Structure 1
Amino acid sequence: MDRNDTSAIADGVRQLYAGWGKGVGIAEMRRQWEHFVAPKRVTIATEDVEANGVRCRWVRASGCDTRHAILFLHGGGYQIGSVDSHHNLMAALSAASGCAVLGVDYRLAPEHRFPAAVDDVLAAWQWLASQGFAPGQVAVCGDSAGGALGIALMTILRDKSLPLPACAVAMSPWADLEAHGDSFRSNAEHDPVTQREVLLVMARTYLGRSGDPRDPLASVVHANLSRLPPLLVQVGSNEVLLDDARQLAARAQEQGCAVTLSEWDGMFHVFQLFTGRLRQADAAITEAGAFLRTHLHPRDTDRISR
């Protein structure tokens, strides 16, 4: 595959979804998604750990600085996705940032509804602290639902008057579970990965019948974003979630957060997942890595290893 061939990836996504009929259960969907996103996993050092009861995985590029860590939160609508599906993204992020990455396999719906995922992410953060990582030595990064989880985590820490991470990266964040953005209509024909109707079903599954889609820990566009650390928001111009990213960035900026909104021309939802297969995905991860280095190593952004 040409590393600039977005159409081939888009066709593959549509073909995958076409096979998800009523006879395909959630476990099989998760398995197929993992295989589609990462059919061949890059070779890199990994270590599975249990962080306060939450399954996690360390991913460490050769020569990375293990004194600093990135807490990585995968996307998938709170129902699919894992450290396996996001292995290649985490590997590329470790190499680009020069830091160890801890991927969190938080509990998924419908087996575990809101706020189980939030609770697991907080538990993983607390475990990192117990391992000797100071908050300023840690950054938070996530894609789609994981991007929102990262924002939610930081608001919890701030509200508890606890130290915050050095910075955060939100890739294609799913920030509004009510799907109000105009881009759901304008980009409907251009985004093969997700659509408004699908996201609304996922939101109901995640929240349950009594759940509030405006809960600020679920829809972070409704959260208080003041006093959060520097934030990089990446989004594709062809995403149905384009307005989620724009609204999140605008609200963060209005409330005093140092935020950078990076829009990628012609890209669909969570295009970064296809690192190694798509030139723009590699470039976006390089951008995220540079941002992370700047804030985790403010005095020496070129130093990678001890």
Structure 2
Amino acid sequence: MGTDTGRRTRARGDGFTEKRHLTENVYILGSEVAAFIKENLLPEFTNDGLATGRPSVWALIFYLMSYRLARPVIRRLVLGCGKRPVSAQLAFLGSRINKIARLQRLLPLRGVHVERGAVDGLSMEIVRPVGGQAALHSGVVLYFHGGGFMMGSLDTHRHVVAAIARLTGLPVMHIEYRQYPDVTVDGSVDDCCRAYQWLLEQGADPARTVLAGDSAGGFLAYATALHAQQRGLPRPAGVVGLSALLELDGTARGAYGSVDDDAFGVSLVLPTIVEHTYPQLGTTKDPSPINGPLNTMPPSLLIAAETEILRCDAERLYGALTRSGRSSVLEIWPKQLHAFPALLPFLPESREAFASVAQFIKSRVDADASALNERDQAV
């Protein structure tokens, strides 16, 4: 785990603005990329980018490009330019991104079979690895896509569930849960709990079922693990959160660090997203996982980027779980972006993170088999 905050990138302040001519911006960016790579890679860099704990070349390039270019773009996309209300802008953005993501259906997925169906009218897919485990009772992963509770779909995250299926040898189910503006966050949680219940009704063994998700999907994975138990369903075997949002109230994040540290710009738009996707915050019971009964939380794996604002959520939940005596693993990755395994799956760090996720999932599924063997031997 690397938690050295001394490696955080500096705040904006060198005159780089959206208003500069494109050529000048590109020149500035190119110069900074060269200096950034020299500072962060030489002479300790190795080809895999991981042996010394240093980020890979491509990770550094995308990190700096995101810090310089993605932040203003994300702010403009989410908050709009004043042409329409923010609520309408969020709905428009979610719809447009999901439509564009349909193009991914044209791309072949290697090494997996995709079965399509529905749960209570909600589209879902079960992605099974070729030659892998087919029976749900032998182990399954339930994955929830990210997207700020307003965007994301089966199409945007099919590559993620396919990667997990290939690496674990297990079937992975994901569902198109309802989002803003159709429902608020609690409605999304309801859909995810129903998906978990449906899996159990199809024969999945809860002791061999792992929940996972990225960003807002990580929120839903942890919330489902807790809320499902409150509804009388058995506890799953484990939970995985990739850059997971874990608390809707942003008070703790506000005191955590500068919003300028977040290279992807999540910190710039998260308060507005929460304001619209859960407007009842403060007036009703908060469904945030970090506020739930953590003494019932199954073992979990938390992965976050070093400078993203949601590192705060990961560290706070990890600390709370540790104090509650619950098993939890926290990985902090330097010079990476928010939800980097899902957004940039081709990076060596993303492949390594997926391998870590797969190892955790298999350990949780195998833990039940080991317990059964011990009981059989005792008899």
Q: Taking structure 1 as the reference length, what is the TM-score of the superposition? A: 0.86
Equivalence for 1:143 = 214
Cα 1:187–1:40 change in 2 (3 A) is farther
Matched, 1:297 2:366: yes
Cα 1:123–1:9 change in 2 (3 A) is farther
> Percent identity over the alignment?
24
- Flag the structure with higher strand content: 1
Supply the distance in 2 between the matched residues of 1:274 and 1:16 (Cα, whole angstroms).
16
Equivalence for 2:309 = 240
Equivalence for 1:48 = 116
- Flag the structure with higher helix content: 2
Match of 1:181 among 242, 253, 269: 253
Match of 2:290 among 213, 216, 221: 221
Supply the distance in 2 between the matched residues of 1:19 and 1:151 (Cα, whole angstroms).
30
Supply the distance in 1 between the matched residues of 2:216 and 2:304 (Cα, whole angstroms).
13
The residue correspondences of 1:258-277 to structure 2 (distance < 5 A) are 258-277=327-346
Matched, 1:121 2:178: no
Q: In terms of Rg, which structure is larger? A: 2
Deviation at 1:88, TM superposition (A): 1.1
Supply the distance in 2 between the matched residues of 1:198 and 1:213 (Cα, whole angstroms).
22
Aligned length: 296
Equivalence for 1:169 = 240
Kindly provide the amino acid, as one letter, of the partner of residue 157 in structure 1: A
Matched, 1:256 2:293: no
Deviation at 1:42, TM superposition (A): 3.6
Across the aligned residues of Structure 1 and Structure 2, the Cα RMSD in angstroms comes to 2.8
Residue aligned with 1:115, SS: helix
- For structure 1, which segment, 106-115 or 240-249, has the greater mean C-alpha deviation from structure 2 after superposition? 106-115
Q: Contact 2:75/2:269 (CA < 8 Å) preserved in 1?
A: no
Provide structure 2 residue ranges, at least 5 long, that are not aligned to the other structure.
1-56, 371-379
Supply the distance in 1 between the matched residues of 2:310 and 2:266 (Cα, whole angstroms).
9
The residue correspondences of 1:182-197 to structure 2 (distance < 5 A) are 185-186=257-258, 188-195=260-267, 197=268
Provide structure 1 residue ranges, at least 5 long, that are not aligned to the other structure.
301-306
Deviation at 1:265, TM superposition (A): 1.3
Supply the distance in 2 between the matched residues of 1:274 and 1:164 (Cα, whole angstroms).
29
**1:60-114 CA distances to partner (integer Å, 9 max, x unpaired)?**
2222212321000111110111111111111111112221110111001122123
Matched, 1:6 2:62: yes
**1:215-273 CA distances to partner (integer Å, 9 max, x unpaired)?**
442x2221121122111111110211111110011111211210011111111211111
Deviation at 1:40, TM superposition (A): 5.4
- For structure 1, which segment, 266-275 or 81-90, has the greater mean C-alpha deviation from structure 2 after superposition? 266-275
Supply the distance in 2 between the matched residues of 1:85 and 1:56 (Cα, whole angstroms).
13
Supply the distance in 1 between the matched residues of 2:300 and 2:114 (Cα, whole angstroms).
27
